[in-house]
Amino acid sequence: MLRKVKKSISIYVILLMTAAPAWAQEQSLKLWYSQPAGTIWEAALPVGNGRLAAMVYGNPAEELIRLNENTVWSGSPNRNENHHALAALPEVRKLIFAGKMKAAAELAAKTMQSEQINGMCYQPVGDLQLHFPGHEQYQGYYRELNLEKAVATTAYTFNGVRYTRRVFASIPDQVMVVRLTAEEPRSISFSAALHSSQQSRVAVNGSDELVLSGVSGDKDGVRGKVKFQSLVKFKVNGGRVSTAGDSIQISRADDVTIYISIATNFVNYADLSADEGKRAVAYLDKVRKKDYEEVLKDHIAAYQHYFNRVQLYLGNSDAERYPTDVRLKNFAAGYDPQLVALYFQFGRYLLIASSQPGGQPANLQGIWNPLMNPPWGSKYTININTEMNYWPAEITNLTEMHEPLVQMVKDLSVTGRETAKVMYGASGWVTHHNTDLWRITGPVDPIYFGMWPMGGAWLSRHLWEKYMFSGDKQYLQSVYPALKGAAAFYLDFLVEEPTHHWLVVAPSISPENNPKAYPGVSMTAGATMDNQLVFDLLSNTIHAAEALHTDAALVEKMKAVRKRLPPMQVGQYGQLQEWLQDLDNPEDKHRHVSHLFGLYPANQVDPESAPALFNAARTSLIQRGDISTGWSMGWKVNLWARLRDGNHAWKLIKDQLTPPGENRGGGTYPNLFDAHPPFQIDGNFGCTAGICEMLLQSQDGCVHLLPALPDEWKSGRVAGLRARGGFEIKEMVWEDGKLTKVTIFSTLGGNCRLRVPNALATKGMLQPATGTQTNPFYQVDAIAPPLVHGKVDTTATAALPATMQYDLMTEAGKTYTFTRP
């Protein structure tokens, strides 16, 4: 027997040295490592099912699995409006229009900022710890996260026996599963315990179940009332199960399956009446009726229903032979296109794992957080970060993952009515730059960040965007009241500024920046981003009303107000102005590029209809620089893609895929989490969306293929991306930078205007594009001409890649394929 074990060890070592890298290259959609995470959270691997989440460390002797549930937040239902705001509003506006920004900010801080409540924190449930005596002396270590199956695996050899652990979070069964196996029978012995930083207690139920019961923490004077219960059930084959205090001991088992069920008393943002214990038991009872293989099969099938919709191939290299953390260190100086595809698919994996229908939206850390008081509360920062989380949802064919955000906007359209009325005397609804599980809508944090009443405008864009990809009138009808309510607020709240008599948002800020002319003071009126947001919201609401044949009088009112919004302005440095006045500093390197919202994610700045603005936006982006925090780099990838500069977008991707600190900005941690730093998941999602924007754009009425292809992506293939207008790119292949094949599926029918880098064989179906876009589903609004104060750069338009345009008249439910002649 001993000889057999030694032989198996020798064979394994040889395989590890030779076959393992080839296998890793063949099975490319895996993050894999040759060492455990140890104590480093940013090296652990994430699993989740939208509601439950875990970080798996993969430590042989002291396995650590950190647990989250998406409704475990501090506090309880609350409101945070400042009731002094309405009385102070006229004076604040008067001071702003008189140029007394500091005095306006001081008054607003006293009368408008939340007096006490600045939002609650997303908090952890606790830790499952598994102690394996003696396993510190391991060999042949391997750890991976398989993106194709959503399973984290750890494998190593101890004392001649190969041990394997698999961890996943099941969507259909709503539990987490830990599977422990060994190559030799009666080899698994360990102890298990639960620990939590919450107010909690641990008990043993029978001899094979741990029970963690607790309640979330207090914050800002709001009592924590989210009750949670976690049940950890051990199903042991062979061996013996016993208890020791509040832990469970497993001795000499053949294999062990651990089922983790977590539930809370949360019903919705105003209701905590559920029985967390009964819920947790119900989840566990359901999964007990199935064997492990069935649970795993159902999990993979449910996950792949979403994940398998999109494939991306950008090439291969020898770099794939190395572990993921090594590839990350070498990426900027080497050639590793497959790491980009892996990172892209990791973003899709994270969205599936952190945002499922019926659950909560992905927050600032997605769904993974180990801290009781995490950075920025791990809340919903809605001056970009939450929205960025969902930039990839539609284009990467994960529309169902968008639903939690849509539901949150519906919730805010209810809670925000009181804020609009109490603080501003306005109808409709409003929310500011931050919200949480309880759907607060008042300003939070210092006035420097918080006095931004535009969260509802930006979030409402997602309601319309989801419709633009699907054309589903029933869905549009369901979200129209929230869209209409957001617009109604600004119809009441906009005020005439004294110089040009434009209608502007006041008071507000340009997140989270301030002009050099007003050091430390961000208070302003008519910030460019605000103007763009209101234009975007009114336009989308107009089109929604027209599509639903409703509110004709309101439509005319919105059109009239839209005409009185300030135009975008080109300033003295050739830049797109960030503020109403020409206050930009060309040396400003702030992480937020808020005034470029009109370029991306909106569609108000493009080279065909607004070349002066397009060039000014490019100038602004150059002046702001590439070095930035991780999420900001993700945004800039999208911006450079919209500028159709694939090589610059690629440069930002290389900056992003760099260990934190090496590029004096953000970067990426060993487990491919985005580094703000610290970890913020929006950078992952932003860069995933940016890779899409380099390959496919559809914001201006055309399906633009390969709009920003970098020189290094000479050949490749993508399948499954979606375009506005109800089109899906079933397959797109390019070689030497030229499109060689495209297959398009039309869900709605109508004209599809294709913009491509080279000629395609028409086969009688494609016609050279003439006139305006004929698909009535597309709505591209004309914007007011810019005011130009400085010299406008005209070089950017001349440098754009050449394109050809075709019209394709499609029928709903049909597929069309074209090749290069």
Q: Which domains does the chain have, with CATH numbers?
A: 29-74+126-308 (2.70.98.50)
Looking at the predicted structure, is the pLDDT value of residue 3 above 90?
no
What is the reported pLDDT for 428? 98
Place 6 in a pLDDT band, splitting at 50, 70 and 90: very low
End-to-end CA distance of the chain: 66
Positive or negative: CA dihedral 618, 621, 625, 626: negative
Provide the pairing of β-strand 703-705 with 750-756: parallel
Q: What is the mean pLDDT of residues 393-409?
A: 98
Rounded to 10°, the helix 337-354/292-307 angle is 110
440 vs 81: CA distance, rounded Å: 8
Work out the mean pLDDT of the chain and round it to a whole number: 93
Instruction: Name all contacts of 333-340 with Cβ < 8 Å and 24+ positions apart.
Output: 335/712, 337/712, 337/713, 337/716, 338/28, 338/314, 339/657, 340/314, 340/653, 340/657, 340/691
Q: What is the mean pLDDT of residues 256-266?
A: 98
What is the reported pLDDT for 4? 36
Distance of CA 654 to the CA centre of its chain: 19
pLDDT tens digits, one per residue of 705-760: 999 999 999 999 999 999 999 999 999 999 999 999 999 999 999 999 999 999 99
What is the reported pLDDT for 764? 74
Provide the pairing of β-strand 434-435 with 721-723: unpaired
Q: Residues 6 or more apart from 11 whose CB is under 8 A from it?
A: none
Q: Residues 6 or more apart from 90 whose CB is under 8 A from it?
A: none
Q: Report residue 783 as tokens.
A: 């914007």
pLDDT tens digits, one per residue of 769-798: 888 766 656 666 777 778 888 777 766 666
Using alpha carbons, select from 763, 762, 716 the residue that is nearest to residue 738.
716
590 vs 511: CA distance, rounded Å: 10
What is the reported pLDDT for 517? 87
Query: Is residue 75 exposed (0-12), middle (13-18) or buried (19+ Cβ within 10 Å)?
Result: buried
3-state secondary structure of 450: helix
Write down the H helix ranges in 515-609.
528-548, 552-563
State pTM to two decimals.
Answer: 0.95
Query: Is residue 674 exposed (0-12), middle (13-18) or buried (19+ Cβ within 10 Å)?
Result: buried
What is the reported pLDDT for 9? 33
